[in-house]
Amino acid sequence: MLKEIKNICCIGAGYVGGPTMTMIAAKCPHINVNVVDINDNRIKAWNNPDTDYIPIYEPGLASLVNEARGRNLFFSTNVNQAIQDADMIFISVNTPTKTYGVGKGMAADLKYIELCARQIATVATSDKIIVEKSTLPVRTAEALKRILDNTGNGVHFDILSNPEFLAEGTAVSDLLNPDRVLIGGEETENGRLAQQALVDVYANWVPKDRILTTNVWSSELSKLTANAFLAQRVSSINSLSELCEVTEADVDEVARAIGSDSRIGSKFLKASVGFGGSCFQKDILNLVYISKSYGLNEVADYWEQVIIMNDYQKRRFAKKIVETLFNTVSGKRIAILGWAFKKDTNDTRESAAIYVADYLLSEQAELVIYDPKVTKDQIFSDLDYLGSRSTEENRDLVEVSNSPYDAVENAHAVAILTEWDEFVTYDWSKIYNSMLKPAFLFDGRRLLSDELMREIGFEFYKIGKG
């Protein structure tokens, strides 16, 4: 019998779980949504009466939280209670790349997912629909099912795959108006009913023709494939950015020319210092690992090249800075504008800025970093996490500034690593005047106009233009 969903629980109050559940609660006032997490500080922040301090910065998110929180949207650390109350449980915990053992540096670490499954199996006393929201390697649902079916209290679990396609920085508009919602389910009577129950939740605001249903494996694999294709476009245009620099072509002109072919399309062709974020690299590494585990070495090598190109692009940019500054940056002050992996987010996971900074620090540069949304603690924690040098050395060599104009004062060079809109609006003459001369400016996001910057007096380099 078709189940009407009245109570939803989401395990994991992160970048995916937080915004997604907020949207469900806002659009489905008749459904109670409990978002739970083991991280007490994160939950406290979600419950902060002043929604300016919720843990995730996303345009439009704070006001949606305000609208639904306390009405039918709740954040708590009481995981067991939320599991028990729920008809449907979303699993939205982190699945980072493994840092140990078999598959180190490649495979997804599923220990958090497995812990969730075991907890659900122990606690649940009524039938539940379990929804995989986190990005998972294909066939994870099989492992989930085995855990749930073997340690449960005789309750029935249906497992769905419902990957999230939102991009950070545009999470609210992506959730409000998704290109598609993908729901994979088992091809059984129960599986179809579970799938329909979730379709009905989304149908509260998403047009029916945008809700796609597939089998579980297609859904799991589609998420990895979508991210791999998107990342591949960025690596493709980035590979050509270097060719543009040596041939006097301009990569934005090339992108415009090819993007107007409807078969290619115009999006995701912006050359950059390299893609970052929690998904692209992790998902491609996943795809590579899975392909290898089935013996598909050519398939694995093909996709691995996307990562190799991305690592090269980050390194190439950093190297360009060193070479241009007369082959040494030792003791030189370099201002870095932007630390987030893209604009309009405070997320720094896999941000190109981290790797560029690390390269420059290894060349003994002194860095001053400014980002409009990323905290000082986060910046130091990202650098410390690499383990390239001691935490003391990081603090000796790196300063984090609250003002872009303070950051650039007496700098030998400025490097733009995130495409924040506000960077374009700065008084670049004032910045030029406060820097050492020659004043070098490296634009890793193609934000600024060459003519204008050269007119001001900068020695200007931008990715993809000779």
Binding-site residues for substrate sit at 164-168, 223-227, 263, 270-276, 341-342, 445
DSSP letter string over 58-91?
Answer: -TTHHHHHHHHBTTTEEEES-HHHHHHH-SEEEE
Rounded Cα–Cα distance for residues 196 and 28 (Å)? 16
**In this complex, which beta carbon is closest to ligand UDX, that of residue 308 or of residue 436?**
308
Q: In what order do the strands lie in the sheet with 413-416?
A: 398-400, 366-370, 333-337, 413-416, 440-443, 459-462
Cα first-last separation, the chain? 65
- Footprint of ligand UDX on 198-257 (CB under 6 A): 227, 230, 234
Give the one residue of 158, 164, 245, 358 binding ligand UDX; rule: CB under 6 A.
164
Look up residue 97 and give its amino acid.
T
Rounded Cα–Cα distance for residues 160 and 166 (Å)? 18
Give the one residue of 32, 34, 72, 94 binding ligand ADP; rule: CB under 6 A.
94
Give the one residue of 7, 38, 45, 145 binding ligand ADP; rule: CB under 6 A.
38
Give the one residue of 39, 328, 330, 390 binding ligand ADP; rule: CB under 6 A.
39
Residue 217 touches which member of ligand ADP, ligand UDX, none, C-beta under 5-8 Å by kind: none
Q: What are phi and psi of 4, to 5 degrees?
A: -90, 130
Element (H, E) at 229: helix 216-247
Give the one residue of 12, 152, 163, 464 binding ligand ADP; rule: CB under 6 A.
12
- Footprint of ligand UDX on 405-424 (CB under 6 A): none
Instruction: Please give the DSSP secondary-structure letter assigned to residue 166.
Output: -
- 279 flagged as catalytic: yes
Query: In Å, how far from its chain's centre is CA 16?
Result: 9
Crossing angle (nearest 10°) for helices 352-362 and 376-386: 60
Using the rule CB under 6 A, give the single segment among 35-43, 186-194, 324-332, 335-343 that binds ligand ADP: 35-43
Residue 92 touches which member of ligand ADP, ligand UDX, none, C-beta under 5-8 Å by kind: ligand ADP
Q: Is 184 an interacting residue with respect to ligand ADP (CB under 6 A)?
A: no
Q: Is 277 an interacting residue with respect to ligand UDX (CB under 6 A)?
A: yes
Output the smallest distance, CB 343 to ligand ADP, in A: 18
- The catalytic position among 28, 116, 244, 279 is 279
Q: Are the C-beta atoms of 97 and 108 separated by less than 8 Å?
A: yes
Q: Is 167 an interacting residue with respect to ligand UDX (CB under 6 A)?
A: yes
Per the DSSP assignment, residues forming a β-bridge with 160 are 131
Q: In what order do the strands lie in the sheet with 7-11?
A: 73-76, 32-36, 7-11, 88-91, 128-132, 157-161, 181-185, 211-215
Among candidates 77, 119, 84, 68, which has minimal Cα distance to 7?
Answer: 84
Give the one residue of 143, 156, 165, 210 binding ligand UDX; rule: CB under 6 A.
165
Residue in the shown chain whose Cβ atom is closest to ligand ADP: 14
- Footprint of ligand UDX on 359-398 (CB under 6 A): none
Q: Is 279 an interacting residue with respect to ligand UDX (CB under 6 A)?
A: yes
Q: Is 220 an interacting residue with respect to ligand ADP (CB under 6 A)?
A: no
**In this complex, which beta carbon is closest to ligand ADP, that of residue 46 or of residue 289?**
46
Rounded Cα–Cα distance for residues 352 and 314 (Å)? 6
Q: Are the C-beta atoms of 377 and 348 separated by less than 8 Å?
A: no
Using the rule CB under 6 A, give the single segment among 33-41, 81-89, 150-158, 185-193 that binds ligand ADP: 33-41
**In this complex, which beta carbon is closest to ligand ADP, that of residue 115 or of residue 249?**
115
Active site residues per annotation: 279
Site residues (vs ligand UDX, CB under 6 A): 164-168, 227, 230, 234, 268-270, 272, 275-277, 279-280, 341-342
Q: Which residues bind ligand ADP (CB under 6 A)?
A: 11-17, 36-39, 42, 79, 92-94, 112, 115-116, 134, 278
